Amino acid sequence: MVRKKKAKFFTVGLVSIALLSCSLLFCQEIDPFYSKLLRDGEKLFLAQNFKEAVKTLEIAAFGLHREKKLRGKAYVYLSLSFYHLKNYKKCEEYLRKAAELVEKEGFQSLEIDESIRSELYKLFNYFRIEGWGELPEAGMKIRPTQVKGDADIQIRELEKSIKAEPHNIYLYYILHELHRKNNNLKEAKKVLQNLVKNNPNEVDAYYLLARIYFEQRKFKDASKNFEQILKLPEKAQIKEDLLLKTKVSLILCFYYRQEEKKIRDLIVKFMNDFSEEKISSLALEEKDKRLFLQIIDTYRAQAAARQMEIRIKELEKAIKKEPRNTSLYYELYDLHRKKRNDKDAKKLLKNLVKNNPDEYQGTYLLAKIEFSQKKYKDALKYFNQVLKPSEGAEVDNELVLKSSIYVSLCLFHLNRREHLESFVRSVEESIAEEKLKQILQKEGLEEEWGRLKESLGE
């Protein structure tokens, strides 16, 4: 009993020590090592050494996992570093993490360097992170407004800032947005043109400029800017959805300009990108997406038709070289039938049976074409050849049964009653009733056979 009490007190003591240790651990001051890493990471970012900044800030963020504000600050600089490194996925990921951490306390509480506030403003709007799109700008006091005078002041201040910092892309985007809000597309275009002139690898600017031209139905200018995006070097790291929207929009430009060859070349080059699911998910107008899918379907049909014509010519040449190779005839026959070209199909089959007299499958197919064209006399001649093959030749039994039925119908249509009744009787005696029904149904002859039987008074 005494031992049990001692064990119990010993356990309670261990738990108390553990809780006390945890409490002390949580009460510890911020580790100066990680605080220094955060400051170093900030300096590396401001010095535009973005790769080293990422390495330093990721370690700092890990070590500051209990410090919401400091970790939020690390996430902000990580987001901006990844933006400059063109890794937009990581940029968005860290910016959203920062927004979740600071919540409504605001980014003012993070003591972020004034020089990057315009960058944050642009990114929050770009990624549509709600609640953070009205971040104050450094030195410019830019804010959404409906007052004309205020907007003019903002525009003039931005224009001055751009002259002073022509490579600060965020200033251009803010100015572009102001002009768009004022429905001043002319000035919005000028801003974007100036942006790509000073920052030739700025993908988003080319796209926005191209879309303005597209909306104005200036498809030649739009296509030039869309094409420029496809020509950018790999280091530009274009986002996948923007690249796909560019390809789709460019093809639509060529469609409106009736540049068929350019459409075909692009579709051939990027066909694997154009699944219906991918196109439907794009942030484009529904009418543009529907039109694009129609263009793709039309192209596919045209491409298939062109491939068919090429194969037909190849087979025709091959048959001339190998007139006894029956498989070539049948492949070509199928292509003629797909094109609904009975004239060439019939000509081909006549050539087949001429060069291969014992090829009764070909004779049967030729007879069926004559029958479908209501040339019952010619059809009867060929069906009879199947029923009376040359000595030593073998004919498939199914072919014989079908030909017997067709001969009966030929006699009926030719009104040869003296032979019709006896022949029909022999057909019905040689084919089981269920089998006869199956063949008539498969060949689509039920109605004609019914009329035949009615004419015989049955």
Q: Where are the domains of the chain?
A: 29-105+115-134
**Residue labelled with tokens 């002319």:** 186
Residue 38 has pLDDT above 50, yes or no: yes
The DSSP annotation for 92-139 comes to HHHHHHHHHHHGGG-GGGGT--GGGHHHHHHHHHHTT-TT-TTPPPTT
Looking at residue 132, what is its pLDDT? Answer: 54
Contact of 84 with 50, CB cutoff 8 Å: yes
State the amino acid at position 280 in one-letter form. Answer: S
Query: For the segment 163-187, what is each residue's pLDDT rounded down to a tens digit?
Result: 988 888 888 888 888 888 888 889 9
Cα(315)–Cα(328) distance, rounded to whole angstroms? Answer: 6
pLDDT, tens digit, 9 for 90 and up, residues 377-406:
999 999 999 999 888 888 899 999 999 999
pLDDT tens digit sequence for 201-228 = 889 999 999 999 999 999 999 999 999 9
Average pLDDT over residues 338-347: 92
Output Rg (C-alpha) for the chain, integer angstroms.
40
How many CB atoms lie under 10 A from the CB of residue 167?
11
Tell me the CA distances in angstroms from 275 to 22, 248, 282, one per residue in order.
55, 12, 11
Average pLDDT, the chain: 83
Which is the CATH superfamily of the domain at 29-105+115-134?
Tetratricopeptide repeat domain (1.25.40.10)
Give the model confidence (pLDDT) of 94-139 as tens digits: 888 888 887 655 666 667 766 676 677 677 766 767 655 444 333 3
Element (H, E) at 159: helix 148-164
CA angle 423, 429, 434 (to 5 degrees): 115
pLDDT confidence band for 268 (50 / 70 / 90): confident
Rounded to whole angstroms, how far apart are CA atoms 367 and 10? 103
- For the cut 90, the answer to whether the pLDDT of residue 69 exceeds it is no
Nearest to 421 by CA among 234, 312, 302, 429: 429
